[in-house]
Homo-oligomer: A and B are copies of this chain.
Amino acid sequence: MHKEHILTKNQQIIFDLIDKSPEPLKAYSILFNVQKRGIKAPLQVYRALDKLVEIGKIHKIESRNAFIACHNSSCQVAKATAFSICEICEKVTEISSAGLSKYLANFKDKDGMKYSKYNLEFFGLCKKCNTR
């Protein structure tokens, strides 16, 4: 298992917001939403985001510059992430597939370079968007 991290005030405020959001949130949208809670500057948001990413409570969706809470039991795979992204409605889902993570964890390229981390983003249409 993994260590429980005690979040600081700013980290907790920002994590709560992301965690209850149905969609990935962008840094400045987070900032706007937490200003009433005393977080006034971008840097306060980015610092919390950095930490939350580091400890695996959230992930960054690189192609969208947005952040999503991890729901893979918080998160043994902070260093091995996969997402599906709908190109119409922008719905993002974290993929949790033992087969996929095993395949990628063991993947070695020609040079024999061993990887400590990966991020995979799939794009397509979600079921809803595909059928209309």
Q: Are A116 and B121 in contact (CB under 8 A)?
A: no
Report A31 CB to chain B, min CB distance, Å. 20
Interface size on A, residues (CB 8 A): 31
Q: Are A118 and B122 in contact (CB under 8 A)?
A: yes
Q: Are B119 and A124 in contact (CB under 8 A)?
A: no
How many monomers of this chain does the complex have? 2
Q: Are B124 and A117 in contact (CB under 8 A)?
A: yes
For A113, A127, A130, which residue has the most chain B Cβ atoms within 10 angstroms?
A: A113
Query: Which 3 pairs from chain A and chain B are nearest by CB?
Result: A115-B124, A62-B62, A117-B123
Chain A residues at the B interface, C-beta cutoff of 8 Å: 62-63, 84, 87, 93, 95, 97, 100, 103-104, 107, 109-127, 130
